Amino acid sequence: MDPDSANTRSDSQRSARYSGLSGNEMYCLALIGYEPGNILVGNSVFSMGFVGGIGSNIRTAIGGEIGQITNMIAQGRQLSLSRFSQELARAEGGGATGVTSQLIFHPGNVEFLTVGSTIHRSDGDTTPQAFTSSADGQELFCQWDAGYQPVGFVFGNVAYSIGVAKGFLGNIRQLAKGEVSQYSDIFNKTRRLALERIQQEARNLNANSVIGIRTTILPIGTSGVQEMVMIGTASYNEQVDAIDGVVNGVTTSDMTAEETWNIAKLGYAPLKLVLGTSVYSLGFVGGIKSSLRNLVKGEINTLTQLIYGAREQSLKKVQDQAEEIGADDVIGIKTYIYDLGGGLIEFLAIGTAVKKVDGLTTRSGQLPPQTMIKDTNTFTDTANLAYGTIDPEVPPRDLK
């Protein structure tokens, strides 16, 4: 559909709109029969006391999921999303794009905030079920053209402790340099819990794909707890049902919308978001630090080999997962290194396993340029820290 010829509601049928969509997004959405509506908000505020109340247990834990906090955060996110969906229904929207799930920290409280932009069918048809999507208007066009029909905004989360019990930490300090399998197992399990939960959310919506997954790690309070949350769009693609190797009936991918379109054009479909974690000990921390102080320059061979081996181990875990499901390739691999304290470092590798599928292609021969034009931020305030943002000394770590 040409956006210039799209049917729109007459001025007498609508009031002025206050949309978060950019001009590029409006153009792309018009191509698939949508026009902008208003920004919508849903929220819920919880007391931070629930974190402090179990802080003593967290401080003595070796690590792993803190179920009480996971459930509380999930409840807050779901409440704000539910209220957002109620607002969407009242607005009689055909869908909502650019949906986000944010945590805003106020003194003593945390606000769960869901924000997105309503879109309406250009032909005025309100029959189709309204959807919610984490994709913006440009991304939504790319996904739709690659065969993915949006169903709903979904997330999967896990709150976990990164603190270590004193006795356990003491044992680690006496270890030779190398992988600490106890910690690797804990972190691999917690990292995958978020993925399993976002898949379950998609199944609940009768979707067979979660695309555009963005993974973020956030500090929760001051008790050594972090949340790993994955958000994405549960979608349905009829071509996915015929693919061998789909895990639990739902494909997952962290590729961008443009990448999703490009690989579909080449005949590839995403199978699974794969990730591998290895936790390594650097040996006795004090000894390393004192050695480093005495060095003027030059390579530290032992640490070079250690870090190289840790990366290789994380990548091997990614490779093993891909081979297990019969993937042809793993693309978009990114690696990250985190200092866990106590002489421990986590190495994380994450990417998307893909498979060649006969007959798979896109609706269009090429993407319009408007899908790839990046919008420019035209407001900058470097003088003040906005109220309610996370402490700048402990910024959130976005793995995208």
pLDDT tens-place string over residues 357-380:
998 999 999 999 999 998 888 888
Quote the crossing angle between the two packed helices 137-145 and 257-265, to the nearest 10°: 20
The answer to whether 128 and 136 have CB atoms below 8 angstroms apart is no
The answer to whether 202 and 128 have CB atoms below 8 angstroms apart is no
pLDDT tens-place string over residues 111-144:
999 999 999 999 877 777 899 999 999 999 999 9
Rounded to two decimals, the pTM is: 0.85
Q: What is the mean pLDDT of residues 72-80?
A: 96
Q: What is the mean pLDDT of residues 297-325?
A: 83
pLDDT tens-place string over residues 263-276:
999 999 999 999 99
| Three-state DSSP state, 264 | helix
Examine the pLDDT at 399 and tell me if it is beyond 60: no
Examine the pLDDT at 30 and tell me if it is beyond 80: yes
Examine the pLDDT at 174 and tell me if it is beyond 50: no
Examine the pLDDT at 391 and tell me if it is beyond 80: no
Sign of CA dihedral 294, 300, 301, 307: positive
Between the alpha carbon of residue 248 and those of residues 26, 153, 258, 317, 329, the distances in Å are 35, 19, 25, 19, 20
| Three-state DSSP state, 303 | helix
Q: Which helix (H) or strand (E) holds 169?
A: helix 166-173
The residue written with tokens 């986000």 in the block is 100
Q: Which of 46-55, 92-101, 104-113 has the lowest mean pLDDT?
A: 46-55
Examine the pLDDT at 168 and tell me if it is beyond 60: no
Query: Which comes out higher in pLDDT, residue 334 or 168?
Result: 334
Examine the pLDDT at 394 and tell me if it is beyond 90: no
Q: What domains can be seen in the chain, in order of their start residue? A: 3-9+19-267 (3.30.110.70)
What CA–CA distance (Å, rounded) separates 397 from 217?
5
Examine the pLDDT at 38 and tell me if it is beyond 90: yes
